[in-house]
Chain A
Amino acid sequence: MAVMTYLEAIRETLRQELRRDNRIIIYGEDVGVRGGVFRVTEGLQAEFGEERVIDSPLAEAAIIGTAIGAAVNGLRPVPEIQFADFIFPAINQIVQEAARIRYRSNGDFGVPLVIRAPFGGGVHGALYHSQSVEAFFAHVPGLKVVIPATPYDAKGLLASAIQDEDPVLYFEHKAAYRSLKGEVPDERYLIPIGKADLKREGKDLSIITYGLMVSYAQRAAETLDKEGISVEILDLRTIRPLDVEAILDTAKKTGRVLVVHEDNLTGGIGGEVSALIAEHALFYLDAPIMRLAGPDVPAMPYSPPLEHAFMVTPDKIAEAARKLAKF
């Protein structure tokens, strides 16, 4: 067991998986010689060679399109999209092709494919290096969307994604890469896709969230604990499929739910989580469901005070939770 950053956990998992299964290939822009713009794939080309860790042309539709073909023909591609903001040229390939191939072929073909992409803001990335894009993909049957919150989860969920027979989008928060550290076992382990993790038990209210916002919610919960407010935190881990049972369990238990995400409010996962609770657990609620999310502006601005105004922070989470607790 070693203490690793979130980024190191991803890199070591990729290394372990590449050693385990020679069908796995990694490619994307700058992932080879340079080891990726964030260094996630550093050293992997040196160990596994240019045939398995490949610098691709700068063309996202080709990255995903060729990965689909390679997956159909027996490989297990793990392509990287350099920033989630640049995934849109590939959306035709992801949504129309990867997601629909099993269904449209009546099960004759499958696309075992893991698309890794750094996302999220608070890193001076401005409009096109800060976006949260998960809701676009969570809408699409045929895809799975995984967003780990800790180094431990980053490893177990990535190994599961690589083993999965269907296309998985695996989003890594850039601000988590080096700020989150934790113990990560050396041996391979799998965390099931579609199962949420009850991160903290509490009795006054539930915060349902995922990714970097889990650790922000934990910080908020510690503050609130000192004020006598007991917070439960549910880390969704995967936003498609959602762990409906875990969502309803925590809602029924505390009767007060705050859904938190950095992605824009309207059409975000918070809406889906809220609808599930409203449909199946309404009469357990003691207060209206509350959502705290990125505001409905097209993207995150650059200038520090503007960026800060956009970001969901531990303070904003604590403030929202106080209001909910008092309702």
Chain B
Amino acid sequence: MAGSDALYGLGLDAKKIETMYYYMVLSRALDERMWILNRQGKSAFVISCQGQEGAQIGVAAALDPAVDWVAPYYRDLGVVLYFGMTPRDIMLGQLAKAEDPSSGGRQMPAHYGSRAHHILTGSSPVATQVPHAAGIAWAFKLRHQEAVAMTSLGEGSTNQGEFHEGLNFAAVHKLPLLVVVENNGFAISVPQSKEMAIQDVAARAAGYGIPGIVVRGSDPLAVYQAAHEARRRALAGDGPTLIEIKTHRFTPHSSDDDDRSYRTREQLTAEKKDDAVHLFRHWMVEQQLWDDEREKALRQRIRGEVDDATDYAEAAPYPDPASFLGHVYHT
């Protein structure tokens, strides 16, 4: 695994590092609020990013939201925030309000999408977005556009045919594509050992003749470095890269799951010691980029943003029932 020690100085200035940290903390805070709304009976469903923020922000920070496109999956709250969705946007989707930019309240929460922010609309069947991202990258290539597509998915989803088909297609045509696997060790309740007979999903890259990189999600700078290098390769015409990020899921699969039946509390406690949000903050303090005062100010700011988003979305109107027949076809 690549480490972050040699990384400081990779074109990441203090401001960018603070931005990355801000988005990690914001993702966590919004996610925690969603669970509160769920337990209050205000939101029927939550699916979490908690534990994966370092993976998501490390990748997103290496992309250029002005030109690149992402086809994320349902845990990628950090990615879509980095690509321009606001806390209000997120809460509008969480509460299924008319103004939800992803779907106007039509989809379950966390099925993100926004043409304006270069975020492809997502579905619930897993891995369908891999060929989509390859197609987006293909259009970039045909138009000789300096841009890449990034798609992400869980390790369980890499067993789907569309993961294989999309990567194979992208490799044959040397498409500017990053395929990012956020390996949190579980496909709902099934551990990785019962999902596949290999330790590293990245090993599958060999089957496509492309690089497969393994990085630790609690080290956002290592993730950034891997994604940055993959983007450079993609733009140079060298084709796709498969990046596997070893990460954690700190919550049950969703608000309808209970992970106590398949994961011991000891295991969860151990996983939580490898929390990117805390480890990144420690590193920043060590580098003298951060201190308690700044931390307090940031937490206050984010608390205000999450409160504002919650209040705004709670007050926002639901969709007009008559609107449900619209947008079946172009009109």
Contacts and interface: CB of A to CB of B under 8 A. Distances in A.
Interface of A: 25, 51-52, 56-57, 59, 61-62, 64-75, 77, 89, 92-93, 96-97, 100-110, 141-142, 144, 164-166
Nearest to B169: A62
Given A61-B162, A73-B69, A109-B120, A97 B102 contact: no
B321 interface: no
Nearest to B167: A62
Nearest to A241: B329
B125 A92 contact: yes
17 contacts: A59-B168, A61-B161, A61-B165, A62-B166, A62-B169, A65-B128, A66-B134, A66-B138, A70-B136, A70-B138, A72-B136, A104-B106, A104-B107, A104-B123, A109-B120, A165-B330, A166-B330
Interface of B: 69, 71, 100-104, 106-107, 111, 113-115, 120-121, 123, 125, 128, 130-140, 142-143, 149, 161-162, 165-166, 168-169, 172, 326-330
A103 B169 contact: no
Contact of A69 (B102, B103, B133, B161): B133
A92 B326 contact: no
A57 B125 contact: no
A68 B132 contact: yes
Contacts of A166: 329-330
Point out which of B69, B131, B162 has the most chain A C-beta atoms below 10 A from its C-beta. Answer: B131
Contact of A107 (B114, B125, B162, B327): B327
Given A73-B140, A105-B102, A65 B328 contact: no
A56 B132 contact: no
B115 to A, nearest CB: 5
A97 B130 CA distance: 12
Nearest to A167: B329
Given A104-B106, A108-B121, A71 B113 contact: no
A141 B143 CA distance: 32
Contacts of A92: 125, 128, 162
Contacts of B103: 104-106
Contact of B138 (A57, A69, A141): A69
Nearest to A96: B125
B121 A105 contact: yes
B113 A105 contact: yes
A146 to B, nearest CB: 14
A89 B131 CA distance: 13
